[in-house]
Structure 1
Amino acid sequence: MAYTATKCLLGHLLKSAGLNQAELSRRTGIHKSQISAYINMRYGKTMEVAHARTISEILDLPTPYSLYEWTEKQPSGRTDD
């Protein structure tokens, strides 16, 4: 079984925590433009693992996986999946 991150929840989580992107940037050392790119899933990529772990600790999340909404990826039928 495989999963795909379909939506970044960081914007919602920041709002719930009473933080903004600038404050998260200050606390994590991650550039504000990079945080914005994560929130908007710019370039179709998810966060680097180290950034996800750092952000999840700042937001007191149980796991970095909580930063995304996940959907099950359907197998293509190929044997190399």
Structure 2
Amino acid sequence: MPKDIIGKCLLLDLIKRADMSQIELSELTGISKQQINEYISNSRTMSLFNAKIIANVLRCSIDDLYEWKL
């Protein structure tokens, strides 16, 4: 995805809203804790596949995972 249309990752807020920890999200998704942390710090952008897995676990839309500049 082009970085110029993707804003801040909102994953930390969604994890808190779900009353979940980053470790729990990692365990439920199979995505490493390091990778989850990289998403939260905006040093890495989620693949569509990982975004779908995370959205399913957090019961949200893929669109909810980032601020979008569209």
TM-score (norm 2): 0.89
Q: Distance in 2 between matches of 1:68 and 1:57?
A: 15
The residue number in structure 2 matching 1:71 is: 69
Q: Which amino acid aligns with 2:69?
A: T
Instruction: Flag structure 2 segments of 5+ consecutive residues without an equivalent.
Output: none
The alignment-based identity, stated in percent, is 42
Is 1:52 aligned to 2:51, yes or no?
A: yes
The residue number in structure 1 matching 2:28 is: 27
Aligned residue-pair number: 68
Q: Which runs of 4+ in 1 moved over 2 A?
A: none
- Superposed CA RMSD in Å reads 1.5
Flag the structure with higher strand content: 1
Instruction: Flag structure 1 segments of 5+ consecutive residues without an equivalent.
Output: 73-81
Structure 1 position 46, deviation (Å): 1.7
Q: Distance in 1 between matches of 2:40 and 2:27?
A: 16
1:29-67 CA-to-partner distances (Å, cap 9, x unmatched) read 00000000001111xx42011100000000001x21110
Larger radius of gyration: 1
TM-score (norm 1): 0.78
Three-state SS of the structure 1 residue aligned to 2:5 is: strand
